Amino acid sequence: AQSVAQPEDQVNVAEGNPLTVKCTYSVSGNPYLFWYVQYPNRGLQFLLKYITGDNLVKGSYGFEAEFNKSQTSFHLKKPSALVSDSALYFCAVSLSGGYNKLIFGAGTRLAVHP
Amino acid sequence: DAGITQSPRHKVTETGTPVTLRCHQTENHRYMYWYRQDPGHGLRLIHYSYGVKDTDKGEVSDGYSVSRSKTEDFLLTLESATSSQTSVYFCAISESDRSQETQYFGPGTRLLVL
């Protein structure tokens, strides 16, 4: 069965420092991987996705993510965190060749401190 | 929020009462989804639709029904609400059912069942 793990419930980082939000996945085929962000009382906003090709994917708001097939990971990164990046982040996976069925991780809350 | 509205945005109801949540899109996308968001679980798929009058069950469909009589509207009904259905409900849309297609989310409905 497909699954996504976000091992950290919360990540704390100082403004201006680099941030990483971790995601690992377990699927039986080739994965498509997504990151979404949720600000308070808002819906999920799409940040970026990995389909194929370059393992480093660039997305919205200066975020990027690196696909690592051998470690089955898709960590979200940003070189310099902003206080406004504080939000709930979700990693999701769907399976190539299947229908558009997203399996979500439990979410990681990012807190960026001034 | 990608041309997606949900109504109501907040609702308090009592156990045993029927509840209908509405999702309306202006993107003319064929595929629509209902998810629920609960702490520690991320988002889980309840039902989805691949066209007018075409729907199917997701991961957590027990206690829920859906209907889609028009492309733009996707209704989620709790026939007899229970406290375990207290959650935040999100509607999503996508242009195709290819597994690499991005899903876009509405603002959510917060439901409290007393």
Please judge whether B100 and A101 are an interchain contact, meaning their C-beta atoms are less than 8 angstroms apart. no
B1 — pLDDT class (breaks 50, 70, 90): low
Does pLDDT of A47 surpass 80? yes
Chain A's closest residue to B57, CA to CA, is A101
Q: Give me the mean pLDDT over the B30-51 stretch.
A: 93
Q: Are B112 and B81 in contact (CB under 8 A)?
A: no
d(CA A110, CA A114): 13
In chain A, % of residues over pLDDT 70: 96
Between CA B54 and CA B62 the distance in angstroms is: 18
| B108–A contact, CB cutoff 8 A | yes
Task: Please give the share of chain A, as a percent, with pLDDT higher than 90.
Answer: 81
**Residues 25 through 44 of chain A touching chain B, CB cutoff 8 Å:** 32, 34, 36, 41-44
Distance CA A107, CA A38 (A): 10
The span from the CA of A101 to the CA of B110, in Å, is 23
Q: What's the pLDDT score for residue B44?
A: 95
Q: What span, in angstroms and rounded, lies between the C-alpha atoms of B1 and B12?
A: 24
- Which of A90, A100, A101 to mutate against chain B (most B CBs within 10 Å)? A100
Q: Is B42 on the interface with A (CB under 8 A)?
A: yes
Structure tokens at B26: 């202006």
Whether A42 shows a pLDDT value over 90: the answer reads: no
Top pLDDT among A31 and B8 is at B8
pLDDT in tens, A66-108: 999 999 999 999 999 999 999 999 999 987 666 678 999 999 9
Can you read off the two tokens belonging to residue A112?
């960026």
Residue corresponding to tokens 């996508």:
B94
B16-33 residue pLDDT tens: 999 999 999 999 999 999
Q: CB–CB of A99 and B99 under 8 A?
A: yes
* Mean per-residue pLDDT, A38-55: 91
Kindly indicate the confidence band of residue B2, based on its pLDDT and cuts at 50, 70 and 90: low
Residues of A in contact with B92 (CB under 8 A): 44
Q: For the residues B72-78, what does the mean pLDDT come to?
A: 97
| Cα Rg of chain A, angstroms | 14
Do A32 and B45 make contact, defined as CB atoms within 8 angstroms? no
